[in-house]
Amino acid sequence: MLNLNLPAHFNAAHYLVDRHVEEGRGERPAIFFEDQIHTYDQLRQQVNRAGNMLDSLGVEMENRVMLLVRDSPQMVFSFLGAIKLGAVPIPTNILMKSPDFLHVLNDSRAKVLIVDSVFLPEIEKILDQALFCRHVVVMGGGDHGHLRYEELTTDAPTELDPADTTPDDAAFWLYSGRNPERLMGAVHHHSHMVFCAEAYAKGILGMTPDDRVMGSFLFFAYGLGNSVYHPFSVGASTVLANHRPTPDLVYGDLIKYKPTLFFTVPTLLGALADYKKESREGSKGLPPVEGLRACISSAEILSPDVYHRFRDEFDVEILDGTGSTEICHIFLSNFFGDAKPGSTGKVVPGYEARLVDEDGNPAKTGETGHLLVKGGSVSSAYWNLRQETKANMLGEWFVTGDRYRVDEDGYYYFKGRSDDMLRVGGKWLSPVEVEGAINAHPAVQESAVVGYQDEDALIKPYAFVVLEPGQSVSEALEEEIKEFVKERIALYKYPRWIDFATELPKTSGGKIKRFILQEKLNA
């Protein structure tokens, strides 16, 4: 276990930002965004402005602040500004819809919502039902009757003393989607960011001030670590972009910014490999990517095929690993010069892992078991969910809900979930939620959703659909149902395939046997 030896009075924002200015690194670049470069001293000033803005709105220590913002310097300013004030920011999944936003607002009792103007229409749908939100601060232009981030921060002072927090104070929350019934607020502390940086950024990647990292999606644990507290912990710089992660645009970023570390997901690795191969074989050609020393892959299972396709095209090491919202970042990882394609690697030093059988006894080597993990970045609780906390946080051990096999060399291999939850594009998906959206279509009688591997061995939703009497199967209806679902839930949750069935397998009590459908697909 890592011993951080943090002082009794500790504020993570001061550690990640002010410390570098105080130690003479104020002129080093901290953030690259479009054509902007923010030095650590400029970052410090903007973080202080954001903290002072929140203070002027009545935000106090331990108050929650919901952040619904695209990747941008302002997202970083708001996140760290709230932490420096002693408040608790909640980066929120921008891919969700208004009912989920309402749940986060009311469940967290956030006093202030900072929202990107592009998401304001979804917020306006539910704002009259937000019970505790007192101020809405909007980033960007447009006509609205809310406070404007740019005006408030421009007028705010550039000096702010860090709140008198401790390593064990709550620093931020991340909402986990592993419970199909409701999103759950996982509470993380000031020490957690330091622990993750020491264990993974330094321990596995050997990250230094000379590194320039590029990642995406700051609203979830993987992206937040990659692009914020990992580079800032060592005085490195981060590259941010808020465009869609298409292979052509991402390749352009790799050329323009020359990152040394690229954090991504298997879906994009496969797309980048195909994009480069097609360009190489065509007449266009692409300039070479320079300076990249490693790619880090997580959030989905990286297949050996995608691993080798990317290595063949880019000749860059890929370190595959896995983490979770509740553990904050990666706790299983492959190592430089010691990677096994198809595995998620070994336990990251500083963490401990064990596999147990259905009775809680240790699983034997080579046998599949339920994965439990402990370490200094495990969430202390799910907010206001005592039973969920007790069921999943067993003393120092966290029940991941994943099933793994470990080989004689200590490499872990993912063998599925312990429940019906799916992980699609690094985000949790409840089959029940997708089924509810499908069943709302007037032509549908009932449905069942399971996971299915696409051509890159990545899990996507596959739906079995029973139609109402009198309805006819057609490609047009299949596409209509997909579009219908897209309008009601987050885009990544819609079924990529629809299989029209006459009936679904069920228990005597009427519960759908998804495992039978899963076995049918895997046969």
Q: Which domains does the chain have, with CATH numbers?
A: 15-23+37-165 (3.40.50.980), 221-417 (3.40.50.12780), 430-522 (3.30.300.30)
Compute the mean pLDDT over every residue in the chain, rounded to the nearest whole number.
93
Is the pLDDT score of 437 beyond 60? yes
What's the rounded Cα separation, in Å, for the pair 467 and 443?
Answer: 6
Residue 349, Cα to own-chain centre: how many angstroms? 22
Strands 135-139, 147-148: pairing kind: parallel
Is the pLDDT score of 510 beyond 70? no
Burial of 296 (0-12, 13-18, 19+ CB in 10 A): buried
Q: What is the pLDDT of residue 62?
A: 98
Judged by average pLDDT, the poorest of 55-64, 80-89, 248-257, 513-522 is 513-522
**Total-model pTM:** 0.85
The pair of structure tokens assigned to 103 is: 């749940």
Name the pLDDT band for 29 (thresholds 50, 70, 90).
very high
Instruction: Quote the DSSP letter at residue 159.
Output: -
Name the pLDDT band for 507 (thresholds 50, 70, 90).
low
Judged by average pLDDT, the poorest of 340-354, 429-443, 500-514 is 500-514
CA 69 → CA 42, 54, 106, 218, 242, distances in Å? 20, 16, 18, 9, 10
Beta-sheet strands, E only, within 348-479: 352-356, 368-374, 393-394, 397-406, 412-417, 422-424, 427-429, 444-453, 459-467
Q: What percent of the chain has pLDDT over 70?
A: 98
Run of H or E residues at 216: none
358 close to 367: Cβ distance less than 8 angstroms: no
Q: What is the pLDDT of residue 508?
A: 54
The pair of structure tokens assigned to 147 is: 């406070």
Beta-sheet strands, E only, within 120-221: 135-139, 147-148, 170-176, 184-189, 212-214
Is the pLDDT score of 500 beyond 70? yes
Once rounded to an integer, what is the mean pLDDT over residues 473-502? Answer: 94
Name the pLDDT band for 234 (thresholds 50, 70, 90).
very high
Is the pLDDT score of 238 beyond 90? yes
Beta-sheet strands, E only, within 10-168: 29-33, 36-39, 64-68, 88-91, 112-116, 135-139, 147-148
Strands 497-500, 459-467: pairing kind: parallel
Burial of 145 (0-12, 13-18, 19+ CB in 10 A): exposed
Once rounded to an integer, what is the mean pLDDT over residues 112-137? Answer: 97
What's the rounded Cα separation, in Å, for the pair 191 and 251?
Answer: 35
Is the pLDDT score of 378 beyond 60? yes
Contacts of 359 (CB under 8 A, 6+ apart): none
Sign of the CA dihedral 26, 216, 248, 271? positive
The pair of structure tokens assigned to 346 is: 């070994």
240 close to 33: Cβ distance less than 8 angstroms: yes
The most confident of 74-88, 348-362, 395-409, by mean pLDDT:
74-88
Q: Where are the alpha helices (DSSP H) in 239-290?
A: 247-257, 266-281
CA 233 → CA 88, 266, 285, distances in Å? 19, 26, 38
| β-bridge mates for residue 38, sequence order | 31
Name the pLDDT band for 355 (thresholds 50, 70, 90).
very high
Burial 492-509 (b: 16+ CB within 10 A, else e): ebbbeebbbbeebbeeee
Per the model's pLDDT, the better-predicted residue between 433 and 126 turns out to be 126
Name the pLDDT band for 509 (thresholds 50, 70, 90).
low
Q: Which of 252, 258, 265 is closest to 211 using CA atoms?
A: 258
Phi, psi of 511 (to 5 degrees): -85, 135
503 close to 516: Cβ distance less than 8 angstroms: no
The pair of structure tokens assigned to 419 is: 């429940």
